[in-house]
Chain A
């Protein structure tokens, strides 16, 4: 049986995390991709390497990836599939559990490793433990951690596109508006380098001191929950258990103490740098390179050292 992968998109661009879901799904069978939105989204899905067929749920009911119509579409398509997969982003986590309920299936979220068709590894307790679980459901519904699977190449496929009907139902929820953070920087989940700030940045104005370093390294900017809660940056900057889970080549934590829920979101990064004035801060326990001192002194020194090194 084939595997159905729901690919979410933002402003018409399929998220890189969804291409990681394609990679995970290929381990389970032939991949059919479900998309919403304009024809261009379906065309982009058709070009992803490893996608054998694209199903496009078009029309107003499926726009904005609303959970109610989308879960109904997935439940309608489900009989032809052994597994239903999505990336563990806000959209997949919104839609897939609802679809699972319609199918009387217990979903398996945040899969980091596929053992076999029924058995999966997922973190629990904010990544303090890894649980291997075996599902007895006839069909499996899973979301996968993008940081654990390489994204499938965006080009290389030429899959046929079919339209699917969105079942008629009462309009339960209605889209009002969306406010996306504007940024020229790479997305957090796909950035090679991330510079993240915490409570130690002190305020919104100071948080901007991370910009020159991020510019210099072509990095995305992230934040700890404390920095988001304090209003230094918007919610979508948050890295951690309940924010984004990232695993870049280089993660630079500036003024972040390293609460367990933050570590849960970044401890799989290849190289971790911590800059903090408290030598006892837990962030140093996961850091490959720690620099103890006042971040307001150190940031300009790092930039100067980078300039000098060329």
Chain B
């Protein structure tokens, strides 16, 4: 038992170090950007002051301008050192105290923190739904083709996996919106008002639940299908490879020789043994699709992290960008950490004190 504790502590320390480095990079970018903005503002105010003085017929001398600049810089806090600022911004980042945006991009609040948390919630809703569906269908297809390697379905899935691996999933989103939203009119093209629509439901009791489910299905079908379609090929192929690898092991031959039905061999023994790598890959693929699919969200106007990025880049809202990146990083590392733990718990070789890797 002590060995597993050691593994956990080791992984935890690793994660913390990575988080610290990531935070340092983000903070550096943050303070660099903010200081530039501050300096720009200070210079603007200085120019305004010079203009005002000249209009009053008292154009300031070079000395006066320098003095004014100094006092303005002091007022804006630009006389502090970069390190000092870095610590200030570090604290802001850690507590997500990132101020306000000019207009609310998501929800009603202009507070960056509120918007980020709401976006995170929505992103998780979308991705958990997609991930559940993808895991389930991918496992079924993967197991099916693993028992019939070289078949037509096997070949088409591997080809499909290659195709979907090499195209951007957000492009599929654009195509889906073009065809299913605008051409056929089956689904909404922008998902931003989903909460408003939910709040408009008048029915009560059981009916309200049905109505809500219908509405969510209406809004989520297209993005979820796109995310699932763009990753299911590679995922099913992966399950196939893992399962085929396990099926060539001796213990499977033994279970078959014992006369255990094929179905029970597959689901009881093979799947159980393949579960550690499969679970790891599920978690990792979640991390990777999340990274790439934020643009898919932006394409669909889903009020999640993707929309935050899209809007913040268009409007030049630095705190929102920084905060979004920070939150995503924390989430990534959390998932990594949990994945590692799960792997350790699922794999008896690790659990019972074998090699760490």
Bound together: no
Interface residues of A (CB under 8 A from B): none
Q: Which residues of B contact A (CB under 8 A)?
A: none
